[in-house]
């Protein structure tokens, strides 16, 4: 339906309706559609509610969330900001809402305990695990670093599982040592180097190469 009156009257009526739609402590946008709460208020339902900033906090002036954040070194608890309790040998985290143990210490039972590095081990920069690892040539066994015994015709490998060594090409693991691979006629080492396969078109049948 057309609004009564001329363009000026219609514009005034539209502005009046827009003003009536904007709640207290808010402002309509420049396009005349929608509104946002004033600084220090946040949208709640169809109105604007004053943001109550607790001690040790600051207003964010955001239109979403609670409207405030705790200062560095404080953390939110039940609507308040309480100081982060930092135990000995620890420091505040980057965001200031928690703590981390200093190097050479690990988190345990709400505190930081010293990392005990065994002989032939060294500290790591990881925040996970024991905080140490064994030097090359050693493996962790019951909180100790035990030397890996590499048999003849084998070499050490960096691995947390297995024997810690691998047989050289042309040998295979057998009873804790590396035994030479005995190949039948018309055979060659496979890609692994620790077994053999028949020359095509022959096929392996137990320990010999036969026609298919």
Q: Tens digits of per-residue pLDDT, 185-194?
A: 999 999 999 9
pLDDT of residue 201: 95
pLDDT at position 145 = 94
Whether residue 109 contacts residue 132, with contact meaning beta carbons closer than 8 Å, is answered with no
> pLDDT tens digits, residue range 94-149?
999 999 999 899 999 999 999 999 999 999 987 777 889 999 999 998 899 999 99
Give the model's pLDDT for residue 20. Answer: 57
- Which two three-digit tokens encode residue 97? 């809402």
Q: Is the pLDDT of residue 2 over 70?
A: no
C-alpha to C-alpha distance for 49 and 212, rounded to whole angstroms: 86
Distance CA 78, CA 86 (A): 20
Flag whether pLDDT at 8 surpasses 70: no
The Cβ of residue 167 has, within 10 Å, a number of other Cβ atoms equal to: 23
pLDDT, averaged across the chain: 88
Q: What is the DSSP string of 53-122?
A: PPTTEEE---SSTTSEEEPTTEEEETTEEEE--PPTTEEE-TTSSSEEEPTTEEEETTEEEE--PPTTEE
Q: What residues have CB less than 8 Å from 64, skipping those under 6 apart?
A: 42, 43
Residues 146 and 139: their CA atoms lie apart, in Å, by: 5
Q: For residues 73-89, give the mean pLDDT.
A: 96
Q: For residue 37, what pLDDT band results from cuts at 50, 70 and 90?
A: confident
Query: Model-level pTM?
Result: 0.55
pLDDT band, very low/low/confident/very high, at 7 (cuts 50, 70, 90): low
């Amino acid at each position: 339906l057309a609004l009564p009156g001329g363009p000026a009257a219609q514009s005034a009526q539209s502005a009046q309706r827009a003003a009536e739609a904007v709640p207290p402590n808010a402002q309509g946008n420049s396009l005349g559609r929608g509104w946002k709460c004033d600084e220090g208020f946040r949208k709640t339902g169809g109105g604007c509610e004053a943001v109550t900033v607790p001690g040790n906090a600051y207003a964010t002036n955001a239109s979403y969330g609670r409207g405030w954040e705790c200062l560095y070194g404080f953390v939110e608890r039940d609507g308040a900001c309480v100081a982060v309790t930092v135990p000995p040998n620890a420091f505040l985290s980057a965001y200031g809402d928690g703590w981390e143990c200093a190097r050479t210490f690990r988190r345990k039972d709400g505190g930081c305990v010293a990392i005990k590095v065994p002989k032939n081990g060294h500290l790591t920069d990881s925040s996970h695990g024991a905080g140490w690892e064994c030097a090359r040539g050693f493996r962790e066994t019951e909180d100790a670093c035990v030397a890996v015994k590499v048999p003849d015709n084998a070499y050490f490998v960096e691995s947390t599982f297995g024997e810690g060594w691998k047989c050289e090409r042309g040998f295979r693991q057998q009873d804790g040592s590396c035994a030479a691979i005995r190949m039948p006629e018309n055979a060659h080492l496979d890609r692994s180097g620790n077994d053999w396969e028949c020359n095509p078109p022959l096929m392996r049948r137990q320990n010999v190469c036969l026609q298919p």
